[in-house]
Amino acid sequence: MWSDPMTDTMKALAKTKPAEGLELIDAPIPTPGDEDVLIKVHKTAVCGTDIHIWNWDEWSQKNVPVPMITGHEFAGEIVAIGKDVDRRLKVGQRVSAEGHVIDLNSEAARAGHFHLDPHTRGIGVNRQGAFAEYVVAPAFNVIELPDDVPYEIGSILDPFGNAVHTAQQFDLLGEDVLVTGAGPIGMMAAAVARHAGARTVVLTDINDFRLDLAQKVAPGVRTVNTTKEDLHDVMHELGLKVGFDVALEMSGSPIAFKQCVDTLIMGGGMALLGIPSKPMETDWGAIILKALTIKGVYGREMFTTWRKMLGLLKAGLDLTPLITHQYPYDRFREGFEVMKAGQSGKVVLDWEKTA
Ligand code: ZN
């Protein structure tokens, strides 16, 4: 088994006590199980989930055991392979990984619906995470990175997968598509809708920094600050006679949800990825009488979404503009601050460099 003769500890960013914040700690380098690989982490990205965990909100208190090394969006290279791994993986291989670890014997998995396993455990949420110099992942979860996908892009494939999976829910070819919420996943979903051949793509938010950035991430998308512009005026400008065919709700905002219902055509489709912070009131009558189809979206399809993601990157979808900040890992505080201020796209931490 692999071992580093110099040291058996690593730097890691962990929730060490049930309170706000994360701490940079020295932790033992994890040992991969027989069906796992050990990955030397090069780059990680900060997710909204990590902000929840940092803030130690109600959801985190219920779901995240302490102590916990956080982080699930990462890319690196394989440094050790468990003895029962039968995939053709090799040491030195550049990889990312699906962060949802599933029970391959569950009914859902046996039916081929890997992403619907009710006992899914999240790397960096329910098991030790990737904000560290090393992380262990099941070989099953590993995604081999093509040579032309750099580590920082590899580190944002997890949220890109959420965007692609949401966009996969309905046929977008030639359709008018509304995306509500211009966080990183909303921006990527808008870019995917463009690549999927949508007739128009409208992306809404109330944060101008994000809407401006969206112009770079998803060129050709019509961005709308709904506090300044009326969505119906924009629809008129774009020649939409009745409404949008498909809505992708990425914000979790009840106002955005209502805007989707109001502006969809009869028989339109709505995919929901944004999670409302509390139960929300909904005009079910409007949904029923418009005969809308609503789909909740969770995670990424293993591994169709991953194949489509790498295909979209190859086809020229460029995620580079989305990464607005990169820091060496020991400057993580700055990264979390800029994320919390809503003045960033994706924030990437480099685990090979210190400040
Ligand atoms: Zn994430």
Q: Give the residues of the chain that fall short of pLDDT 70.
A: 1-7
pLDDT at 1: 47
Q: Residue 187: exposed, middle, or buried by beta-carbon count in 10 A (0-12, 13-18, 19+)?
A: buried
The CA-atom distances, in angstroms, between 329 and each of 158, 326, 336, 341 are 19, 9, 11, 19
Q: How far is the CA of 129 from the centre of ligand 1 (A)?
A: 12
Distance 24 CA to ligand 1 centre (A): 20
- 3-class SS of residue 80: strand
DSSP assignment of 289-339 equals: HTT-EEEE--S--TTHHHHHHHHHHHTT---GGGEEEEEEGGGHHHHHHHH
Asked whether the beta carbons of 202 and 178 are under 8 A apart, the reply is yes
Q: How far apart are CA 256 and CA 342, in angstroms?
A: 18
Closest CA to 39 of 101, 7, 83, 82: 82
Cα gap 199→238, rounded to integer Å = 10
pLDDT in tens, 61-120: 999 999 999 999 999 999 999 999 999 999 999 999 999 999 999 999 999 999 999 999
Q: Rounded to whole angstroms, how far apart are CA atoms 265 and 267? A: 6
Tell me, what's the pLDDT at 353?
Answer: 86
CA of 339 to the centre of ligand 1 (A): 13
CA triplet 163, 167, 171: central angle to 5 degrees? 170
> What integer pLDDT is reported at residue 355 of this predicted model?
82
Helix (H) or strand (E) run with residue 257 in it:
helix 254-263
Residues 6+ apart with CB under 8 A from 300: 98, 100, 115, 158, 161, 162, 164, 165, 306
Q: What is the pLDDT of residues 172-190, one digit of tens each?
A: 999 999 999 999 999 999 9
The end-to-end CA distance of the chain, in Å, is 32
Please give the distance, rounded to the nearest whole angstrom, from the Cα atom of residue 323 to the centre of ligand 1. Answer: 14
Helix 157-167 and helix 184-195: axis angle, to 10°?
50
Of 131, 17, 28, nearest to 64 by C-alpha is 17
Note the pTM of the prediction, 2 decimals: 0.96
* pLDDT at 3 (0 to 100): 54
Assign domain 161-296 to its CATH superfamily. NAD(P)-binding Rossmann-like Domain (3.40.50.720)
User: Domain ranges in the chain?
Assistant: 9-156+319-350, 161-296
Report CA(123)–ligand 1 centroid distance (Å): 10
The alpha carbon of 131 and the centre of ligand 1 are apart by a number of angstroms equal to 12
Q: What is the pLDDT of residue 223?
A: 98
Active site residues: 49, 52
Q: If one looks up domain 9-156+319-350 in CATH, what number appears?
A: 3.90.180.10
- Ligand 1 centroid, distance to 162 Cα (angstroms): 8
